[in-house]
Amino acid sequence: MRRILITGHLGMLGSELSLACEDQGDEVTGFDLPDVDITNRARVLQLAGDADPEFIFHCAAFTQVDQCESDVDKAMRVNAIGTQNVALAAESLGVPMLYISTDYIFDGTKPAPYDEWDVANPQSIYGRSKYAGECFVRQLCQWHYIVRVSWLIGRNGPNFIETILRLARERSELRVVNDQHGSPTFVSDLVPELLRVSESGAFGTYHITNRGFTTWYELAKQAVALKGLAANVVPCSTEEHPRPARRPQNSRLSPTLYALALGNEMPAWEKGLKDYLKS
């Protein structure tokens, strides 16, 4: 039993993580809007002190990648300054924290998967704000884990698979980008790994995603086929599907240090997808 503080405990990842902690007997305190705004430093420090956690998972973030482009202040306030506040709380209480980061801190130009030690060069406001959050965690909190995930898919949130399945029921043809490469990270596979990492004492920065690489098009095609839907999934390029925020073409994260330090126990993305669709 541990006393755990989870920021963003009502979000897609935080909600499943909270349940998993409670299932194993942990006492969970959640920080989320509207009750606790992580950008309010005094309140974060005070409420974190009241909760007296033994570990902090920091999942809260402004995650609307395109909206971050038009609301830079909010992106930086929540993802950078909010993370600064959480890191200060962890350090002042003398407890370790785990910060969830993203593949979007890389520019996507490397011709191979990104290792944990590769140099960040975010191309979007969201990526810059999450990377600023990483820097605060490293500077301010001595005992920290930073876990970078990509293409997060969980039961309790809007996500790519749900969008594709909804569109496949409404339309006969879907066009999905086929030139962005990466790995989905299914929340139900990630959560047990986050718990394992948090108890390991192997502090550092890790890449954790489901195994294997794919494209959004391949992922959509498989999801539609597994659900037995008739819609035709057609590949297209990022240029044909412009969005306000630039996405890395190569989002592939290599779990090199994670595998060496802890052993990579994540299942292949194809299994993660089947399990997700069954649930």
For 138-172, give the secondary structure using H, E and C: HHHCCCEEEEEECCEECCCCCCHHHHHHHHHHHCC
Cis peptide before 34 (omega within 30 of 0): yes
Q: First CA to last CA across the chain, in angstroms?
A: 28
Q: For residues 190-209, which are near ligand NAP according to CB under 6 A?
A: none
Cα–Cα separations (whole angstroms), residue 202 to 3, 96, 212? 20, 11, 24
Structure tokens at 261: 């330090």
Cα–Cα separations (whole angstroms), residue 122 to 81, 105, 128, 180? 17, 4, 5, 15
Size of the site for ligand NAP (CB under 6 A): 28
Q: Could you tell me which stretch among 105-113, 114-122, 144-152, 200-208 binds ligand NAP (CB under 6 A)?
A: 144-152
3-state secondary structure of 232: strand
Sort strands 97-102 and 55-58 into parallel, antiparallel or unpaired: parallel
Shortest distance in whole angstroms from residue 82 CB to ligand NAP: 5
Structure tokens at 18: 């909270």
- Please confirm, yes or no, whether 126 is among the known catalytic residues: yes
Shortest distance in whole angstroms from residue 132 CB to ligand NAP: 12
Rg (alpha carbons) of the chain, rounded to whole number? 18
Burial-class residue 105 by CB neighbours within 10 Å (0-12, 13-18, 19+): buried
DSSP 24: T
10 binds ligand NAP (CB under 6 A): yes
Shortest distance in whole angstroms from residue 25 CB to ligand NAP: 23
Structure tokens at 17: 């993580």
Catalytic residue among 99, 104, 114, 126: 126
Closer of 29 and 230 to ligand NAP (Cβ): 29
Among 18, 39, 178, 180, binds ligand NAP (CB under 6 A): 39
Q: Which of 44, 122, 35, 30 is nearest to 77 (CA)?
A: 44
131 binds ligand NAP (CB under 6 A): no
82 binds ligand NAP (CB under 6 A): yes
Shortest distance in whole angstroms from residue 216 CB to ligand NAP: 12
57 binds ligand NAP (CB under 6 A): no
44 binds ligand NAP (CB under 6 A): no
Sort strands 97-102 and 181-182 into parallel, antiparallel or unpaired: unpaired
Q: Could you tell me which stretch among 146-154, 205-213, 219-227, 231-239 binds ligand NAP (CB under 6 A)?
A: 146-154
Q: Could you tell me which stretch among 61-69, 105-113, 163-171, 262-270 binds ligand NAP (CB under 6 A)?
A: 61-69
Distance of CA 279 to the CA centre of its chain: 20
Closer of 46 and 232 to ligand NAP (Cβ): 46
Closer of 161 and 168 to ligand NAP (Cβ): 161
Closer of 31 and 217 to ligand NAP (Cβ): 31
212 binds ligand NAP (CB under 6 A): no
Active site residues: 126
Interface with ligand NAP (CB under 6 A): 8, 10-14, 31-33, 36-39, 59-63, 78, 82, 100, 102, 130, 149-152, 157
